[in-house]
Structure 1
């Protein structure tokens, strides 16, 4: 198997399949012109026929012109696609009225007039390198309805062999295949074609500096950087090898196989996999505040697809459907709620009565509460408060200060605490670290720091880890007697009195927290002696947020999950405007687990 031959065939066949779908054309009826008759052209055309193209509808050209059946001395390969037509001899004649042009020849042989002579919505694959048969600019200028592909990475719909390699070989080798047969090649074609119809990962949009790539004229084949190629193509090829009888090893757990591939490529970690797997065991009803935001909508659809939750999107249903249509997202099975619609009047009144009664001693009236139910944060949190939903995700549009205020009013803080807080989890090459408080408490005093530490310890245990907690400052164990070190020092003293078995100490500088040899040598009395610290509680929000964002900027491979809410009575979780789809899906998994644990506790 050679990538220039079979690889180009597989990738271009996937592109052709999707381009025809965009154009609304039947492969069995389209007229195809293939300019070039070398090994790559022959392989491509054979695969198009396997895909459903009719030989009688194909015209192939070599350096001498149209390959006709009456031409002498044809090679066996050229004979396969020699046309019986006698009315075409040149490329100009061949492309007239054609639906598809595939160029595997040399540069600048296709003119704008030739493209204009083609059928409606012509498909032009100009794949000669480094100069295509016609430039992208000239092709697009020739007529507005052309569907164009080249081998160039700087233009849409690149036919690039790396879309299939090494993933085709990966699937073949993983099942110890004796050959790469036609069934395996066709499986790769369909896997690649199908992937282009799925929502595009954030990393692809970032690399190509676009916001919302979606299936259509400028995106009908996946980008080479799409991280899903390794799982989708490899698995499809491996399955086809097993089913066609050339595999010497069988795979039965395909989910595990794909997860292993993602781990090898660094796309998924044990931490996130466990989160998602746990959430899938007990999916919850989760409300997404900014339902029309592309990232939140994509995350909701992905979370539903993965079985993490039953999503509820807040927003105007017509607008939500328009956004979904633009993003090529399927909202089937997702509840859409317009909290401002007339039909929601009864629910708004019910929520308002509940909130007014709960906050009566804080001066709330029914009228004031009713007005607040037109705001997505009040309405969504009341859905959770009254049991109409299990968890709520917010934060992409709203300011944190407002969201925090609403959460305190509607949901309230757990009775054993005086505050709530947030934590970010950093999954780094040096291990997993839990960092608090990154969002809620700007200038915590001693009592608030005690609460944050207690919340952090409970949250770390929530993630099945034992907390080894360092309380951070710019001094070590009382070397400074003014400012924030005093608050941290006193908080540690209080924590050690209340929880004699909790591995917590400080105040200490970050380097002593993270280097146990240095810490144990300099301060052998510490309760953390011999332990690797995994939990860092900072003296204020600035230092906590700055620390995790610095690490995020320095270590691009570090995975960050958060902010994770700690201390509210219900599962209310936050995102921010920088959150990617993957970030929101991870928070959704945490929210689903959080909500389920709450249910178990309250039974």
Structure 2
């Protein structure tokens, strides 16, 4: 049961998952076929991108299939949902199972639920994405985390990655880390091959920005920037979306999107939204990235576009407007501004469940909220925003 060396097989890595698969089909015994299925599942898992949670636990930035990593680490959260189904299937195929599993996806979800790992929101999004995978530009493809994300997105069928950056550098990183990118197009915006597209994109960009301080030469030069090039691919229909911002500051990432693609019709203020996946469900936070010192009207506009986006997740927004004040306990201008923004939102969208101003702990302590502020719209509500 000890693990003193890399790749040492131990009880933790095998027995629990073999037993789980055997028990779930009421196997009469554990045979060689089931043990071999576990071995093969472990071997296959070792060749897939390692989750960051495992890298962090073992103080390694990049665990990859290599002489020092030929079997998964015991803390890998994917072990149960990978090995147990393989063992259960082998038991069924070899005739020692007393009950049959017919829905393997449901079984995998059930296993993750037992560990508290399943997240319905991400599952729904993944299923939706698989129905119509979009062409997604990964603008920072010379980063190992981005390449891992691209491989996972491709392997799971949720996106068709397009990699931007120096092709040799990208391929070298992928080869060194055993990341499979063979089926992904690689475009270097600075290359000679990309010059016709740079010129085409520069002409379009110049038409958009020629009266906003950008000249023709600058337009062409800017198309060598991967963020501008990627946004222009989206604007011209060569791609459906772009992911960027891991290695560059926020302004340098969002500015090209605003200048090239722009905002949705009717949107006065853009906003940044974070999604936290918690055991109690998803939690949306906004605005977390763009606006500082918004007016009440601007804050109300932000609320409305955030609520619209949350509905795109097939969720009903239930919104708490935060402050250091609870329902008028402070008469400071900042607290009054939040309360005013809430009133503006209710006038524009009376059916939206929203209340405030309130301190951040209040919407999550239902008893205190109900006892002290029984008039609040958020009483007995599961706040998610």
TM-score band w.r.t. shorter chain? over 0.9
Shift of 1:259: 2.5
C-alpha displacement of 1:447: 2.4
Give the corresponding residue for 1:366: 216
Q: Secondary structure at the match of 1:358?
A: helix
- Of 183, 187, 208, 1:333 maps to 183
Q: Which residue of 2 aligns with 1:448?
A: 298
Q: 1:254 to 1:523 in 2, by over 3 A?
A: closer
* Deviation of 1:489 (Å): 2.2
SS at match of 1:343: coil
1:431 deviates by 3.8
**Corresponding position of 1:17:** none
Q: Hey, what's the Cα distance between the residues in 2 that align with 1:393 and 1:269?
A: 22
Structure 1 pair 472/309, CA: closer, same or farther in 2 (3 Å)?
same
Name the CA shift for 1:203/1:504 in 2 (closer, same or farther; >3 Å).
Answer: closer
1:47-446 map, 5 Å: 151-153=2-4, 155-446=5-296
Count of aligned pairs: 385
Deviations 1:213-256 (A, max 9, x none): 22222222222222222122212211111111111111233233
Are 2:320 and 2:357, in contact at CA under 8 Å, matched by a contact in 1? yes
| Cα distance in 2 for residues equivalent to 1:219 and 1:527 | 53
By how many angstroms is 1:437 displaced?
1.1
Give distance in 1, aligned partners of 2:297 and 2:119: 36
C-alpha separation in 2, matches of 1:515 and 1:203: 30
Change (3 A) 1:525 1:264: closer
- The residue aligned with 1:500 is 350
CA distance in 2, matches of 1:306, 1:368: 40
Distance in 1 of aligned mates of 2:366 and 2:7: 52
Give me the whole-angstrom Cα distance separating, in 2, the residues matched to 1:529 and 1:239: 47
Is the CA contact (8 Å cut-off) linking 2:64 and 2:178 kept in structure 1?
yes
Indicate whether 1:482 and 2:352 are aligned.
Answer: no
Deviation at 1:454, TM superposition (A): 0.5
Query: For the structure 1 residues 207 and 512, does the alpha-carbon distance in structure 2 shift closer, same or farther, using more than 3 Å as the test?
Result: closer
Q: Are the counterparts in 2 of residues 158 and 223 from structure 1 also a CA contact under 8 Å?
A: no
Could you list the runs of 5+ residues in structure 2 that have no partner in the other structure?
Answer: none
Distance 1:226 1:362 in 2: 51
Give the aligned partner of residue 135 of structure 1. Answer: none
Q: Is the 8 A contact 2:300 2:341 kept in 1?
A: yes
Tell whether the 8 Å contact from 1:472 to 1:508 is kept in structure 2 after alignment: yes
TM-score normalised by length of structure 1: 0.61
Equivalent-residue separation in structure 2 for 1:379 and 1:481 (angstroms): 49
Give 1:286 deviation, angstroms: 0.3
TM-score, structure 2 normalization: 0.94
Give, in whole Å, the separation in 1 of the partners of 2:74 and 2:122. Answer: 25
Preserved contact between residue 178 and residue 248 of structure 1 (Cα < 8 Å): yes
